[in-house]
Structure 1
Amino acid sequence: MSSVIGIVSVALVASLFMSFTVGANSNSAPIAPAVGANALSTLRGALLVGLVAGLGAIAQGGSISETIGHGLVTGVTITPLAATATLLTAATLITIGNSRGYPIPSAFTVTGAAIGAGVALGGGFAAGTYAKILGFWFAIPVVEGILAYGLAWLLLDERVSDEVSIPLLAGGVGYALANIQLSFLPAPQSEQGSIAGVITRQFDVTLTAVGEAGVVIVGSVIGLLTVAVVYWQLRRDVTTGINRMLVGLALVVVFTSGGSQVGLATGPLESVFESSLGLPSVYLLGLGGLGILLGGWFRSPRLIQAVAREYAALGPKRSIAAFIPAFLIAQAAIALGYPISFNKVMISSIVGAGLVSGSSKSRGVSAAKTGYTVGAWIASMIGGGALSYALYHTLAALPGLG
Structure 2
Amino acid sequence: MPAVVFLVAIALVAALFMSFTVGANSNSAPVAPAVGANALSVLRAALLVGVVAGLGAILQGGSISETIGKDLITGVSITPLAAATALLTAATLITVGNSYGYPIPSAFTVTGAMIGAGIALGGGFATHEYLVILGFWFAIPVVEAVLAYGLARGLRSDSIPETLGVPLLAGTVGYALANIQLTVIPTETEGQGSIAAFAAHSSHLLSIDLVGSYTVGMVLVSAAVGLAAFGVTRLLLERDESAGIDQFLIALGLVVVFTSGGTQVGLATGPLEAIFESELHLASIYLLALGGVGILAGAWIRAPRLIQAVSNEYASLGPRRSIAALVPAFLVAQAAIVFGIPISFNKVMIASIVGSGLAAGGSGDGVSARKAGYTVGSWVASMVGAGVVSFGLYSALHAIPGLA
After superposition, residues 2-13 of structure 1 pair within 5 angstroms as 2-13=2-13
Alpha-carbon distance in structure 2 between the residues aligned to 1:289 and 1:28:
15
| Distance (Å, rounded) in 1 between the aligned partners of 2:267 and 2:224 | 35
| Separation in structure 1 between the aligned mates of residue 303 and residue 386 of structure 2, nearest angstrom | 22
> Quick one: structure 1 residues 296 and 375, their matched pair in 2 at CA, closer, same or farther if it must change by over 3 Å?
farther
Instruction: Identify the residue that residue 19 of structure 2 maps to in structure 1.
Output: 19
Deviations 1:312-369 (A, max 9, x none): 931100110011111111111111111111111111001111222347x8xx614599
Task: Name the residue aligned to 2:321.
Answer: 318
How far apart, CA to CA, are the structure 1 residues paired with 2:44 and 2:104?
Answer: 23
Equivalent of residue 379 in structure 1, options 381, 384, 394: 381
Contact kept? 1:57, 1:259, Cα under 8 Å: yes
Q: Percent identity?
A: 64
1:2-401 alignment to 2 at 5 Å?
2-99=2-99, 103-205=103-205, 207-209=207-209, 212-305=215-308, 307-309=310-312, 313-358=316-361, 365-367=365-367, 375-401=377-403
Q: Which amino acid aligns with 2:228?
A: L
Shift of the alpha carbon at 1:58? 0.8
In structure 2, the residue corresponding to 1:179 is in which secondary structure?
Answer: coil
2:64–2:342 contact (8 Å) kept in structure 1: yes
Name structure 1 gaps, 5 residues minimum: none
Instruction: Give the conservation status (yes or no) of the 8 Å contact 1:103–1:343.
Output: no
How many equivalent residue pairs? Answer: 399
Q: CA contact under 8 A between 1:179 and 1:219: conserved in structure 2? A: yes
Q: Tell me the SS of whatever aligns to 1:233.
A: helix
Consecutive unaligned residues in structure 2, runs of 5 or more = none
Distance (Å, rounded) in 2 between the aligned partners of 1:388 and 1:302:
32
Against the structure 1 CA distance between its residues 232 and 315, is the aligned structure 2 distance closer, same or farther, given a 3 Å change threshold? same
The answer to whether the 8 A contact 2:206-2:216 is kept is: no
The amino acid across from 1:85 in the alignment is T
Say if 1:312 and 1:365, in contact at 8 Å, map to a contact too: no
Asked if 2 retains the 8 angstrom alpha-carbon contact of 1:264 and 1:339, the reply is: yes
What is the rounded CA distance, in whole Å, between the counterparts of 1:47 and 1:54 in structure 2?
A: 11
Per-residue deviation, residues 347-394 of structure 1 (Å, max 9, x unmatched): 1001111222347x8xx6145996665543332222211221222223
Report the TM-score when normalising by structure 1. Answer: 0.92
Q: 1:11 to 1:37 in 2, by over 3 A?
A: same
**Alignment partner of 1:89: what SS?**
helix
Counterparts of 2:175 and 2:82, CA distance in 1: 41
* Cα offset, 1:190, TM superposition: 4.1
Contact 1:37/1:314 (<8 A) preserved:
no
Tell me the secondary structure at the aligned position of residue 250 of structure 1. Answer: helix
> Which amino acid counterpart does residue 121 of structure 2 have in structure 1?
L
AA partner of residue 267 (structure 1): G
**CA distance 1:393–1:306, shift in 2 (3 Å):** farther
State the Cα distance separating 1:207 from its structure 2 match.
4.3
Most deviating of 346-355 and 298-307: 298-307
Which SS does the other structure have where 1:277 is aligned? coil
| Distance (whole Å) between structure 2 residues aligned to residue 39 and residue 67 of structure 1 | 38
Alpha-carbon contact 2:78-2:274 (below 8 Å) kept = yes
Residue deviations 1:58-101 (CA, integer Å, cap 9, x gap): 11111111111111111211111111111111122223344456
Measure the CA separation in 1 of the matches of 2:310 and 2:120.
Answer: 36
1:190–1:3 distance in 2 versus 1, CA, 3 Å = closer
| Structure 1 residue 251, shift from structure 2 partner | 0.5
Does the Cα contact within 8 Å between 2:86 and 2:390 map onto a contact in 1?
A: yes
Deviation at 1:205, TM superposition (A): 3.2
Q: CA-atom RMSD, angstroms?
A: 2.3
Contact 2:354 2:367 in 1 (8 A): no
TM-score where L is the length of structure 2:
0.92
> Per-residue CA shift, 1:285-305, capped at 9, x if unaligned?
111111111111112334435
Shift of 1:215: 1.4
Cα distance in structure 2, aligned partners of 1:346 and 1:255: 14
Q: Secondary structure at the match of 1:279?
A: coil
Pair 1:188–1:63, CA change in 2 (3 A): same
Structure 1 CA distance for aligned equivalents of residues 200 and 7 of structure 2? 47
Q: CA deviation at 1:52?
A: 0.5
For 1:401, give the aligned amino acid.
L
CA contact (8 A) 1:36 1:314 kept: no
Distance 2:367 2:131 in 1: 29
Supply the distance in 2 between the matched residues of 1:207 and 1:58 (Cα, whole angstroms).
30
Are the aligned partners of 2:18 and 2:91 in contact in 1 as well (CA < 8 Å)?
Answer: yes
Q: Helix, strand or coil: the match of 2:215? A: helix
